[in-house]
Amino acid sequence: MASLNSSSVMKTLEVCKIAPSSEDSEFSVPLTFFDLLWFKFHPVERLFFYSLPQSDTSFFLDSVIPKLKRSLSLTLQNFLLLAGNITWPPQSDKPIIQYTPGDGVSLIIAESEADFNLLSGNQAHEAIASHHLVPHLDISDSLASTIALQVTLFPNTGFCIGISAHHAVMDGISSSMFLKAWAYICRTIGEEEFCSSSLPAELKPFFDRSVIKDQKELDMFYLKSWTALAASHEPNLHKERSLRLLSITGRQNQELVRATFNLIPADLDKLKKRVLTQWDKINEEEGETKPVKMSTFVVTCAYVVVCMGEVYKDFAFAFSANCRARLNPPVDPNYFGNCVFPCIADIEPEEFSDEQRLALVAKKIYNLIKKLQTGAVVDEAEDLFAKFASLASKRIIGVAGSNQFGVYGIDFGWARPTKVEITSVDITGSIALAESRDGNGGVEVGLVFTKDEMELFASVFYSGLEAIPK
């Protein structure tokens, strides 16, 4: 395993607040039940590593930083909510996101002495080594920032853009849209002054929360559920209308390592063929039909879960499905906020001793997605907290990111990212997914384990791929 001193020095060069390019009147939106579902969840933290086109520090300070600041200000004009904060007005039953003129996004400019190539590589290294690149959200009982940003220079090699996003404000689809818009504007202003109407249609956010129908008042149900959970877990810190997040401490005291595993198209083709070949040998549920083809997401998750079965033995697997097209009526694909719903698969230990285990797990994931038919998304929404509570004794493995977000296309004008990493899987224990950087249709899988667990997983992962016939 590659080693890195976790106390690597970082020097803060500047701390500033970036406001939208022009003053607007106050703007606020309510939190929907999709938002409140993630109300006290840990922020999503992502790092984007870029190589420097010129190795001297002056280029970074005199060219890169001014363009990033200017383009961020212009971008926020289109994404006003991100310049605001989550608040909980006394007259409101639930929190809102509110922008007030003068608000802005915290931006830290820093310099790191850490090894850029190590941190942006795939090989196993200390997970904590990336933490100094992650900005922290400003969250109190009464106010919570929506995002925080940090740009860190690695002298003579590259730089990193780190983002922390409050999960009650946006899901991964919306977060990726914002970053793509920022990158697009940063590239554009190098040629001509940007105006808000210049954003491509696919990058223009849709903010109308009235399209999210909530006839069961799930918003208040989720808010009360989170409040009760906070009161039971942190009675000494709990306040009835607090915006503070729920602490997650299960993995913070462990010495963890981070690594990235790649599934190339040939691997994915073998996995899909294996699942479909074994499909008919598994007992079918009533009315079930064999799929014509398997999605990359399903087989990737199934294979990683099967490999994890050799590490953890007994756990539950959860992932979030995009519901924008699954609501009745469907909402705009550019809907900005949260519009994802968790699906939970309880993984039984005996499933990992059967030669059909890959197909078994893939079938579970496939059927969970299939159940989310149009209009059926909220059918089991009231049972969600109870489902998670019933699994309290188990480790829950989630999924962060997606192979469909296109994060390696986020080019600010100095080439595509060298590496994209979801750092928050350190805390949540999730599987981080992204499309392969080379654009060949492969998948990157980011994982964090203890050293012994990582070595076992890697052995199972690579030997398993070799054992599957073409």
Q: Which of 214, 269, 332, 411 is catalytic?
A: 411
Please tell me what DSSP assigns to residue 378. Answer: T
What pTM was computed for the model? Answer: 0.94
Decide: 284 and 257 in contact? Cβ < 8 Å: no
d(CA 355, CA 291): 20
Q: Which range, 369-383, 384-398, 424-438, is most confident?
A: 424-438
Same domain, 414 and 276: yes
The confidence band for 6, taking pLDDT boundaries of 50, 70 and 90, is very low
Q: What is the mean pLDDT of residues 80-91?
A: 96
Domain boundary (177, 201, 233) is at: 233
Same domain, 277 and 168: no
d(CA 52, CA 63): 11
The answer to whether residue 47 sits within a structural domain is yes
Same domain, 360 and 322: yes
Domain that holds residue 159: 10-233
Question: Which tens digits make up the pLDDT trace of 189-235?
Answer: 865 555 555 899 999 999 999 999 998 899 999 999 999 988 888 88
Count of CB atoms within 10 A of residue 372's CB?
Answer: 19
d(CA 352, CA 382): 31
Note if 132 is an active site residue. Answer: no
Q: How many residues does the chain have?
A: 470
Contacts of residues 172-175 at CB distance under 8 Å and 24 or more positions apart, as own/partner, are 172/44, 172/340, 172/400, 172/401, 172/402, 172/405, 173/322, 173/324, 173/339, 173/340, 173/405, 174/205, 174/335, 174/336, 174/337, 174/338, 175/44, 175/46
Same domain, 317 and 398: yes
Same domain, 228 and 263: no
Question: Which tens digits make up the pLDDT trace of 95-143?
Answer: 999 999 999 999 999 999 999 999 999 999 999 999 999 999 999 999 9
Note if 332 is an active site residue. Answer: no
- The CATH number for 140's domain is 3.30.559.10
Decide: 241 and 360 in contact? Cβ < 8 Å: no
Between residues 392 and 78, which one has the greater pLDDT?
78
Q: Cis bond leading into 333, ω under 30°?
A: no
Decide: 107 and 73 in contact? Cβ < 8 Å: no
Q: Which residue in the block uniquely carries the two structure tokens 């969840």?
A: 41
Same domain, 302 and 218: no
Between residues 281 and 318, which one has the greater pLDDT?
318
Give the dihedral of Cα atoms 114, 120, 121, 126; nearest 10 deg.
Answer: 50
Query: What is the reported pLDDT for 5?
Result: 45
Q: Which of 115, 167, 171, 219 is catalytic?
A: 167
Instruction: Share the mean pLDDT of the chain.
Output: 90
The answer to whether residue 332 sits within a structural domain is yes
The answer to whether residue 241 sits within a structural domain is no
Q: What is the mean pLDDT of residues 389-412?
A: 91
